[in-house]
Amino acid sequence: MKHRHDTVVILDFGAINSQATAKVIRSLEVFCEVLPFSASAERIAALAPKAIVLQRGRACGAATIGVDPAADTAAFGVPVLDLMDKTCDAATLRPFLFEQCAVKPDWTTESFIEDAIRDIRETVGNRKVLLAMSGGVDSSVCAVLAHQAVGEQLTCVFVDHGLMRKDEPQEVCSVFRDHFGIALRHIESEARFLEKLTGVIDPERKRKIIGEEFIRVFEEEARTAGEPDYLVQGTIYPDIIESGGDGGKPVKAHHNVGGLPKHIDFKGLVEPLKYLFKDEVRQVALALGIPRSIAMRQPFPGPGLGVRCIGELTKEKLDILREADAIFRAAVVESGLENQANQYFAVLTGNRSVGITNDARTYAYTVALRAVKTSDFMTARFVKLPMDLLETISESITSHVPQVNRVVYDITSKPPSTIEWE
């Protein structure tokens, strides 16, 4: 794809706004990549950039660097724009890109789709491909692209661990089978997961068991499908930019659906979304005709409701959580406040307390509601949902879900909390 479009390289000197600048350039239909400032001359040259943008950060002492555009341009052989530590807007970038550098704006959602389908076809040839469908936007877009590229050479596996939200498995199956004609294999594994999780209350152990069991089921399905040569993964651009990482210790063991199984030898990985930001993936999803409910779906963790149902996981508790969560999410959408939060969901706390219903004492669960606003999911602020809305939701949950007699709202930001409860 890179060589089909004029490319701009952003050299990131540890600035916080490199990705924001990349999004502005891409909004002008120009493909651009973010590379660390330490990228070798060969790596930069391999992209054959038409222009280079320097994005410096305060952390690297932007204020103390003297700027010499002529020297920079001579060093790179193409025009250089030094943004220091500012995010550039489209108005400033247009003359630089289109007049000074004569960059051709031809990187659009439609051209991306065409390129991606062609690339998958070229890579895969007549071999077989496997994909783990999670129901999220990334794997959904991958599935549709791969299916359009190689049709029945694609095996699409949906490992349903029984930790999905209300009606989600049915929706995923109906969209991909009925609407897109993809032969999605729905592997109903709820009993198997719950059995492994019996008696387990430690959050990290729960995550580990869910992740391992997921891979085991997926491997079995790969064998059934004749051990395909390629695995399609929904890796997106921020994962690539950030994979350099700081090597710090993760707070939680993240289990990503579609994580590479260790015991299957694939000839290679197909990662059609690896140059896209999340917003761009959503645009591609809509352009492909994927319904809004999936295209705009809020992030949902790989271990699913397993990290939102505190303590031991049982079908009974998960069903209670599914009902309460569905009521909460529907009410937020109905109130029109959906875009105020990046994630909003219910948690079944392990707590039970005394209440009263129809003059009779109850001893029932406490549900916590959480809604957060965040730009990078590394930090987040709780959303101040209107009290009236919270009151309506509380009444609705306690009247429709008899196992719940108390509803609380989580008013903690990240840090010190995390977004998920476990």
Q: Does 413 bind ligand XMP (CB under 6 A)?
A: no
Q: Which is nearer to ligand XMP, 6 or 138 (CB)?
A: 138
Strand, coil or helix: what is 295?
A: helix
| Distance separating alpha carbons of residues 44 and 261, to the nearest angstrom | 32
Task: Annotate each residue in 322-351 with x if it binds ligand XMP (CB under 6 A) or - if it does not, as one string.
Answer: ---------------------x--------
Least separation in angstroms between residue 325's CB and ligand XMP is: 13
136: Cβ–Cβ under 8 A, 6 or more apart, which residues?
234, 257, 294, 297, 299, 300
Q: Which of 303, 325, 390, 404 binds ligand XMP (CB under 6 A)?
A: 303
347-385 burial by CB neighbour count: b if 16+ within 10 A, else e? Answer: bbbeeeeeeeeeeeebebbbbbbbbbbbeeeeebebbeb
Least separation in angstroms between residue 69's CB and ligand XMP is: 40
Q: Does 302 bind ligand XMP (CB under 6 A)?
A: yes
Q: Which of 234, 301, 304, 306 binds ligand XMP (CB under 6 A)?
A: 301
The size of the interface with ligand XMP (CB under 6 A), counted in residues, is 15
Q: Does 252 bind ligand XMP (CB under 6 A)?
A: yes
What are the beta bridge partners of residue 353? 364
Return the ∠ at Cα 76 (arms to 74 and 78), rounded to 5°.
80
Q: Which is nearer to ligand XMP, 262 or 361 (CB)?
A: 262
Q: Does 169 bind ligand XMP (CB under 6 A)?
A: no
Torsion angle of C-alpha atoms 261, 264, 269, 274, degrees rounded to 10: 0
Q: Does 85 bind ligand XMP (CB under 6 A)?
A: no
Q: Which is nearer to ligand XMP, 179 or 254 (CB)?
A: 254
| CB neighbour class for 110 (10 Å; exposed up to 12, middle 13-18, buried from 19) | exposed
Q: Which is nearer to ligand XMP, 81 or 348 (CB)?
A: 348
Can you point out the beta strands (E) in 15-62? Answer: 31-36, 51-56
Least separation in angstroms between residue 201's CB and ligand XMP is: 17
Q: Where are the alpha helices (DSSP H) in 98-243?
A: 109-124, 137-150, 168-173, 190-197, 203-224, 237-242
Least separation in angstroms between residue 202's CB and ligand XMP is: 15
Strand, coil or helix: what is 376?
A: coil
Q: Does 414 bind ligand XMP (CB under 6 A)?
A: yes
Q: Which is nearer to ligand XMP, 169 or 302 (CB)?
A: 302
| CB neighbour class for 334 (10 Å; exposed up to 12, middle 13-18, buried from 19) | exposed
Q: Does 92 bind ligand XMP (CB under 6 A)?
A: no
Segment interacting with ligand XMP (CB under 6 A) among 43-51, 122-130, 220-228, 253-261: 253-261
User: Contact positions toward ligand XMP, by CB under 6 A?
Assistant: 251-252, 254-256, 299, 301-303, 343, 377, 414, 418-420
